[in-house]
Amino acid sequence: MEKNQIIDLEITDLSYEAMGVAHHEGMTVFVNNALPGEIVSAKILKVKKSFAFAKIEEIKKESPDRVDIKLNQWVQTGLASLAHIKYDKQLEFKRNQVVNLLKKAHLEDKEVGQTLASPEETGYRNKAQVPVREVDGQLEIGFFRRHSHDLVPLTNFFTTDPEIDRVLVAVRDILRAHHVPAYDEIHNQGEVRYLDVRRSKDSGEIMVILVCLHKDFDQLPAVADDIKKIDKVDSLVLNHNPKKTNVILGKTDYLIFGNPQIVDKIGDVKFRISPESFFQINSLQTPRLYDLAIKNADLKPSDVVVDAYSGIGTIGLSVARHVKSVRGIEVVGDAVKDANANAELNGISNAKYVTGKAEKVMPRWASEGMKTDVIFVDPPRKGLTPEFIDAAVTTGPKKIVYISCNPATLVRDLQDFQKHGYDFDRIDPVDMFPQTPHVEAVTVLTKEN
């Protein structure tokens, strides 16, 4: 098999990244934008020892599950790499990810629920972080082509709230009008690296964040004046990121105008959100995710709950009215301040948050005589550390409620918990990110007698 070779392939499966999978003369070939059941003529793009990547030249037999989309860039960039698949089949694909991981771990006896569909299939994101680059001599916003840093200019981001798309384009035009240079990542020069826009689904408040190489630039006053005129924009923040890095946000924010936070809701609980706060992207699906976790946990009014990796308190404050008390732990001091402020904002008196590492704080609380009935944990994609798992089981809760954004690390961690005497009956997938391969999941681990 050689680069640029054109071959016919029968697609038999989807990879976890939603690429079509085919086999040819002992090689596995991953074909972008191809679906199981299709026969395609494909051009080989890259050849490795036992696998290759290809792109479709022609679809000779089309899957009935294919959706005809006008903007193929959504699939090409990975921004919405399932956009060409019917939504019910997307939900099946996500459930199958969990099923296949359990099979590999020899845990096929565990039940997997049907994927909980999102109320919105498109336009659901309450936040957009889009790169700003120069393309053909002009400042553009868009998304990087998959596995590259080539910017594909876009004005319709498909999964993002249309109001956010409107503001992104308006800010782009203002930056162009004032000749603000886009960031050049090769030479680490230019000015605006990313546009970050957040919108409250509840109040409609919009915050614009300019991620810039410098903490000030000549055109900033004029740019700020024009951004202030954009309908429904409430605040502008400059985030200073001077480093040559792929990390989007820098560590320092400068408020240019408006409020330093916007307010949104999960269910009936309000949250103040700062520029760098983690807040679930899908505002309408998040309360359904938390309600599922709370229902599966079968909480009691007498329960003492620990909210680990608590962030600004989204899970703990949603749980608080069901239990005796919530104690939250978070390593980011500003998030802890926000969590306690959010408790006060909602008149919640039985939830308190502290700064620290959960693996150190939980055993200390246990040694001081605090009884923990339930631990809620919602870790980043890398999952839990062995140190956290040891600390959690040492604390001795009756239940551990694990909300995961990565089924692979979830299954790995569940196996670790089993070695420590905690087991589970089922995993419930939840679609927080329609049109993408990402899947959240809820599992309740129970201490074995």
Residues classed as catalytic: 405
> DSSP states of 42-90 as a string?
EEEEEE-SSEEEEEEEEEEE--TTB---S-THHHHTSTTTTTTB-HHHH
Of 271, 315, 265, nearest in space to 289 by CA: 315
Q: Is residue 342 a contact partner of residue 271, using CB atoms and an 8 Å limit? A: yes
Dihedral angle over CA of 212, 78, 83, 286, nearest 10: -60
Paired with 355 in beta bridges are: 330
Tally of CB atoms within 10 A around 314: 25
Q: Is residue 208 a contact partner of residue 238, using CB atoms and an 8 Å limit? A: no
Q: For residues 44 and 2, what is the distance between their CA atoms, to the nearest angstrom?
A: 7
Reported as half-sphere exposure (CB side, CA atoms, 13 A), residue 116 has a value of 19
Q: For residue 16, count CB atoms less than 10 angstroms from its CB and return exposed for 0-12, middle for 13-18, buried for 19 or more.
A: middle
